[in-house]
Structure 1
Amino acid sequence: MDTSEDEPTALVQFEGGPCAVLAPMQAYIIKNIVSNKSVDDDWKKVEADEQNRLLCKAACDILCQATDGCDILKFVQIDDKGVLEHSQFHSMLKVEQVNKDSIETFFNNHISFMRDTFGVLLFLYTVMHSKGLVKLKEEICDLDEPLIDKEFGYGSQCLINMMITGQAVSNVFNNDQVVAGLKLQGIDKQSEVGFLTLLEHLRYCQVGTYLKNPCNPIWVLGSDTHLTVLFSFDQNLVSKETQADIARRTFKLFDQDGNNFISTQNLKPLLEKLDLVSDDEYVNLMSTKLDSEGLGIILMPSFMDEFFSEQETRTPDVFMLFHYNGQPRSNPNSKVTYIEGNAIIQESDVICIVEDNNLQSCLQSKWPYIEVQWKGGVTPSIN
C-alpha cells in the first residue's frame, strides 16, 4: 500500500484488481481526515508518521466493523522477513490472535506488513479470517461466485460491501428483500462511508439510502471495471436517517417495481408500518385526498408532502467535491492527486444526461440535477 509522491495521503494502485481493497481503505483514510480537519486547513500536507497513523486507523475501522462483537481478531502475516516469491506466499502465512482493544497499537507496530509486496492480500485475509468463514458463508448469497475474479482480479460486490460496511452481502439495497420467494440480504444500517455506482444509471441495480446517505460525506464510486472515491468536507451533504428518510424507505417496500407510486390498497399497511394513524375511516379519507383522480394509486411525492413535508432535508445548492483515482494512468500527467470540483444543484425538473460523462452519470444517482466544474476543466475518470 504505497502512497503518492504528489498526494501524501493518497494510495497508489499500480495494477488492475486490488481497488476492491484499496478504494475502501482510501475512503476510510479520508474519513479520518474529514472528521478532524476543515477544507480551510492545510490538510494535504502530512508527514510520514501521520501517513502511517491514518493508514492504521483506516485498517482498524474496516477490520472492527467487519468483526462486530468479536473480542479476538486474527492477524494474518508472513512467517518470513526475507524476499518471498509469489509461489511461496501461501505456504509462509501464519495467524496471530490479537485482542480487539489493542488492535490499533498492533497495526502501528506492524505497519510494514501493509507497505510490503503482499500487503493488500494480507490485510484482506486478516479481515476475512477475523470475520470468520462461517459468517462469510452466511452473508454471501452465491458461494459459487468468487470474491476475486480469477481472470481479471476484480473484487466482487460481496468483497466491496465487506470492506465498506463489514457485511459481505451481494446486494446494495436497504435491508432484506424477498424476490420471487427468495430472501435476498441487503445492507442493514447506515454505513460510515457510502457507495454509488454507474450500474444504477444503467439500471442494473438501485443503491439504497444506507449507502447513498452514509454517516460521512465520502463515497466509493463504482464503474464497470474500477473503484474510485468521492468526498467532501461539507457535512450537510449527509445526515442521520430522519423520519422522512424512514418513510421514503418504507414506501419503497410497497413499491417493489420502483414506479414511485403504490396502490391505494397499500396505504393502510404503509401507515401501520410507520406507526401513523391507520383506522379505516382515516385511511379512506386520505386515499380520496391523495388519489383525487381516482386512479387507484398514490404517488410518493404526494405522500411525503402530506405526512413529512416539514421534515424534508435540503442539500446545499453549492458545495466542493474532491475525487480520487488510485491508478496513475487515469490521472492528469499520471500523478495521483485529489481533483477538486465545484458542484451546483440546478433548479430544474429535467435531468441532463451526458452519455460520455460516466462520473456525472454516477453522481446523478444521488443528486439528479448536479453539475460539477472540475479544476483544470477535465472531468476525472472513474475507470
Structure 2
Amino acid sequence: MPEPESSQPPQEQQPTALAAEDLGFERFHSVLHKRTVMSVSGLREEVLSLYHTWRGCCGVLLFLYSVILAKGIENIRNEIQDTMEPLIDPVHGHGSQSLVNLLVTGHAVSNVWDGDRECSGMKLHGIHKQASVGFLTLMESLRYCKEMSLVGPESPSEQARRVFQSFDPEDNGFIPESLLEDVMKALDLVSEPEYASKVLTPKSRPGQDSGIPDSFPIYHYNGLKQSNHNERVEYVEGTALVLGFEDPMVRTDDTPVKRCLQTKWPYIELLWTTDRSPSLN
C-alpha cells in the first residue's frame, strides 16, 4: 500500500503521484510503498487516508497487489493448480479462475466444485468453505460451466433442484420412476419402498422462514462507455423478485443480466428504475 504524501484529512488531501491519470507502468511501480496494518479499523483508516490514490487509474492494481501481499505470494503459489498460469490473461486482460476464487473465497484454487477431487491420481482442489459473497457467470447459463453449491448460499429449494438435476443431466424435466427411491435418499427423505411409491406435496410449516427474501435490491455497473446510455458510465438500480418454483405469468425481460441471475434463482424477475435494461457487453 502506498505511503500518503499529505497529513491533511482525507477530504482535503491532495492527490498523490499514484493518482495521476498519465502514470506510466514503470513510474507506477517505482513510487509504490508497502505499509502493514494489524486490524480492520487500521486498514479502513489507511484506505480512507489514500482516497484519491485508490480512486485513481491504478486503484484496481493497488487493490490486487494488497490482496496478494495480504495472502502471501508463496501461499498463492501453493494453491494454484498450474503455477505457470498468469493471474491476469496477457492478451485480453481477464482474471483467471484462481484470481476470481482468491477475491471471492480467499483461496486461489483453480476450480469451482465442492471440495477436492482426484483425476488419474492427481488431486484437484476446489471450494472448501461457504463464502460470504458469491460469483455468478453468464457462462453457466450458456452451459459452458457449472457452479457448485458452495459458491453461493444454497436454500432447501435450490438443494432439491440440484439433486433433481443430478438425476436428470440432460434437463429433460423427467426422472425415471425406478430412480425415485434414490432421489428421496439424496434429499434425506423417507425412502422405504412403501413410502417411495407415494409422493406427497410438502406443505410449509406456519412461521417457517426459508431464508430467501421475496425481493432484494440489485445494482448493475458496466465500466464500458459504449455499453451505457449516452456513453455515460453510471450505476443502474433495480429490484429482484424471487418467485420460488412458480413460473411467472408475465416475464419482464430475457436479458443476459437476468439469465445470469437465473443460474442462482431460476424464477426471478427484475424491475429496473430506468426504461431500459443494463448491458453486460
- Same fold judged by TM-score > 0.5? yes
| Larger displacement relative to structure 2 (315-324 or 246-255) | 246-255
TM-score, normalized by length of structure 2? 0.69
Distance 1:136 1:363, change over 3 A: same
Equivalent of 1:140 in 80, 83, 101: 80
CA shift, 1:178, in A, is 4.2
CA shift, 1:170, in A, is 2.7
Aligned amino acid, residue 334 of structure 1: E
In structure 1, the partner of 2:247 is 348
In structure 2, the partner of 1:381 is 279
1:73-132 deviation line (CA, Å, top 9, x unaligned)? xxxx989x9x85323433444433332352222223333431334322122111112211
SS of the residue corresponding to residue 196 of structure 1 reads coil
1:185-230 deviation line (CA, Å, top 9, x unaligned)? 33333322221111111112222333333xxxxxxxxxxxxxxxxx
Aligned amino acid, residue 340 of structure 1: E
Query: Unaligned stretches of 5+ in structure 1?
Result: 1-47, 53-76, 214-240, 277-281, 294-301
In structure 2, the partner of 1:90 is 29
Superposed, 1:251-330 pairs within 5 Å as 264=181, 285=192, 287-290=193-196, 292=197, 313=210, 315-317=212-214, 320-330=217-227
Aligned amino acid, residue 377 of structure 1: D
CA shift, 1:323, in A, is 2.0
SS of the residue corresponding to residue 151 of structure 1 reads coil
Alpha-carbon distance between aligned partners in 2 of 1:368 and 1:351, rounded to the nearest angstrom: 15
Alpha-carbon distance between aligned partners in 2 of 1:89 and 1:125, rounded to the nearest angstrom: 12
In structure 1, the partner of 2:69 is 129
TM-score, normalized by length of structure 1? 0.53
Alpha-carbon distance between aligned partners in 2 of 1:178 and 1:254, rounded to the nearest angstrom: 19
Instruction: Quote the sequence identity (%).
Output: 37
SS of the residue corresponding to residue 37 of structure 2 reads strand
Distance 1:115 1:339, change over 3 A: closer
SS of the residue corresponding to residue 269 of structure 2 reads strand
Alpha-carbon distance between aligned partners in 1 of 2:158 and 2:256, rounded to the nearest angstrom: 30
CA shift, 1:343, in A, is 4.0
Aligned amino acid, residue 90 of structure 1: H
Aligned amino acid, residue 329 of structure 1: Q
CA shift, 1:249, in A, is 9.8
Alpha-carbon distance between aligned partners in 1 of 2:122 and 2:194, rounded to the nearest angstrom: 35
Distance 1:203 1:309, change over 3 A: farther
Q: Is the 2:47–2:54 Cα contact (8 Å) retained in structure 1?
A: no
Aligned amino acid, residue 348 of structure 1: D
SS of the residue corresponding to residue 274 of structure 2 reads helix
Alpha-carbon distance between aligned partners in 1 of 2:27 and 2:59, rounded to the nearest angstrom: 15
Alpha-carbon distance between aligned partners in 2 of 1:329 and 1:121, rounded to the nearest angstrom: 23
Q: Is the 1:252–1:258 Cα contact (8 Å) retained in structure 2?
A: no
SS of the residue corresponding to residue 137 of structure 1 reads helix
Distance 1:248 1:122, change over 3 A: same
In structure 2, the partner of 1:367 is 265
Alpha-carbon distance between aligned partners in 2 of 1:247 and 1:359, rounded to the nearest angstrom: 23
Alpha-carbon distance between aligned partners in 2 of 1:164 and 1:210, rounded to the nearest angstrom: 11
Q: Is the 1:174–1:186 Cα contact (8 Å) retained in structure 2?
A: yes
Alpha-carbon distance between aligned partners in 2 of 1:245 and 1:344, rounded to the nearest angstrom: 16
Alpha-carbon distance between aligned partners in 2 of 1:250 and 1:361, rounded to the nearest angstrom: 18
Superposed, 1:106-121 pairs within 5 Å as 106-121=46-61
CA shift, 1:163, in A, is 1.7
Alpha-carbon distance between aligned partners in 1 of 2:214 and 2:112, rounded to the nearest angstrom: 27
In structure 2, the partner of 1:100 is 39
Query: Unaligned stretches of 5+ in structure 2?
Result: 1-9
Distance 1:78 1:375, change over 3 A: closer
Aligned amino acid, residue 37 of structure 2: V
CA shift, 1:149, in A, is 0.8
Aligned amino acid, residue 366 of structure 1: K
Superposed, 1:201-212 pairs within 5 Å as 201-212=141-152
Alpha-carbon distance between aligned partners in 1 of 2:111 and 2:71, rounded to the nearest angstrom: 19
Tell me the matched-pair count.
257
